[in-house]
């Protein structure tokens, strides 16, 4: 038998159990990411006691609860950016805080943290040896080239409510990773045809190529490496990164969840300072 599943009412009532341990109750979307959030937020908000983060199983649930608690400064609500800003779906509300990247996983990409993880697995390696074998700038260029069109297709699906699986799909469904190069697999072409046909069923004048072009501006190459990963799901980049470094450095396979947590735990999280500052401003005004 598996572990008993937590009910929605239990998740909503956890904050009562932790009132004596939390100075601030923080609610997030995904039950599987509460430890990532705790690792980040306890570091960012180090002067505030946070023993437990509360997941509410989905963005809609977080938004609903946030509306019920406007004005309660003990409770704040954090949601993924996803594509909300691009698709004009963002909600402006004082106690509701959007991440500034697609998801919490998108904050795991700090060069020092990645190097530290590699050294944990291969202690005899030096920093300079790692950077000689693994060019970080080249890797992020590959990320942009490999994923940007695919993510544009996802945006087309979501904007037009086509009902086709998109960002929830695993990246391996459309991409092949290897130590030297990366490419899209044959499933991708069939996928694009399916999306094209679905678009045509809505409006014969629409073309997938035209819709992709409209969204490409959100994936222009940036001088700032992290600027290229803001709108690409973090789980896609992490999957690609894990595949690349395990093969490049001969590291035994690392569980994806462990890989993500270890990276986040060692990050300085300067990229999340803006979120920290917005939360502190809200709490003090």
Q: Where are the alpha helices (DSSP H) in the chain?
A: 8-17, 34-44, 59-68, 111-121, 127-133, 136-159, 187-202, 208-215, 234-248, 256-266, 273-284
Q: Where are the alpha helices (DSSP H) in 59-126?
A: 59-68, 111-121
Report if residue 96 sits inside a domain: yes
Question: Which structural domain, as residue segments, surrounds residue 45?
Answer: 8-106+271-284
Q: Are residues 82 and 222 in the same domain?
A: no
Q: What is the reported pLDDT for 152?
A: 97
Report if residue 1 sits inside a domain: no
DSSP state of 6: P
Rounded-to-integer distance, Cα 114 and Cα 129, Å: 13
Q: Are residues 148 and 84 in the same domain?
A: no
Q: Are residues 149 and 203 in the same domain?
A: yes
Q: What is the reported pLDDT for 226?
A: 58
Q: Are residues 21 and 145 in the same domain?
A: no
Report if residue 131 sits inside a domain: yes
Q: Which residue has the tokens 């917005």?
A: 278
Q: Are residues 93 and 216 in the same domain?
A: no
Q: Are residues 85 and 137 in the same domain?
A: no
Rounded-to-integer distance, Cα 154 and Cα 159, Å: 9
Q: Give which of 211, 247, 261, 250 is closest to 86, Cα–Cα.
A: 211
Report if residue 3 sits inside a domain: no
Domain total of the chain? 2
Which residues contact residue 123 at a Cβ distance below 8 angstroms, ignoring those fewer than 6 apart? none
Q: What is the reported pLDDT for 104?
A: 96
- Rounded to 5 degrees, φ, ψ at 165 are -50, 135
Task: Give the pTM.
Answer: 0.89
Q: Are residues 143 and 239 in the same domain?
A: yes
Q: What is the reported pLDDT for 109?
A: 93
Q: Are residues 205 and 190 in the same domain?
A: yes
Rounded-to-integer distance, Cα 191 and Cα 187, Å: 6
Rounded-to-integer distance, Cα 141 and Cα 181, Å: 12
Q: Are residues 122 and 248 in the same domain?
A: yes
Q: Are residues 156 and 116 in the same domain?
A: yes
Report if residue 2 sits inside a domain: no
Q: Are residues 154 and 218 in the same domain?
A: yes
Q: Are 136 and 225 in contact (CB under 8 A)?
A: yes
Q: What is the reported pLDDT for 128?
A: 95
Q: Within the chain, which residues score under 70 in pLDDT?
A: 1-20, 179-181, 220-228
């Amino acid at each position: 038998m598996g572990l008993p599943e937590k009910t929605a009412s239990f998740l909503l009532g956890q904050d009562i159990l932790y009132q004596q341990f939390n100075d601030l109750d923080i609610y997030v979307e995904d039950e599987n990411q509460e430890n990532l959030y705790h690792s980040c937020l306890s570091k960012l908000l180090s002067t505030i006691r946070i023993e437990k983060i509360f997941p509410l199983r989905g963005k809609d649930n977080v938004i609903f609860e946030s509306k019920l608690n406007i004005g309660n400064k003990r409770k704040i609500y954090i949601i993924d950016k996803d594509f909300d800003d691009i698709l004009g779906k963002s909600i402006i509300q004082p106690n509701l805080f959007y991440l500034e990247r697609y998801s919490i996983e998108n904050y795991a990409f700090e060069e020092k943290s990645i190097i530290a993880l590699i050294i944990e697995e291969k202690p005899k390696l030096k920093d300079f040896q790692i950077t000689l074998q693994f060019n970080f700038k080249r890797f992020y260029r590959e990320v942009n080239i490999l994923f940007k069109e695919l993510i544009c297709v996802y945006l087309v699906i979501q904007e037009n409510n086509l009902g086709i699986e998109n960002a929830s799909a695993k990246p391996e469904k459309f991409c092949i990773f290897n130590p030297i190069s990366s490419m899209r697999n044959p499933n991708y072409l069939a996928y694009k045809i399916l999306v094209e046909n679905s678009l045509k069923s809505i409006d014969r004048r629409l073309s997938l190529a035209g819709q992709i072009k409209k969204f490409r501006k959100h994936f222009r190459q940036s001088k700032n490496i992290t600027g290229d990963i803001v709108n690409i799901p973090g789980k896609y980049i992490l999957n690609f990164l894990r595949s690349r470094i395990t093969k490049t450095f001969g590291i035994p396979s690392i569980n994806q969840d462990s890989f993500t947590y270890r990276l986040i735990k060692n990050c300085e999280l300067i990229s999340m300072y803006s979120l920290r500052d917005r939360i502190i401003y809200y709490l003090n005004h």
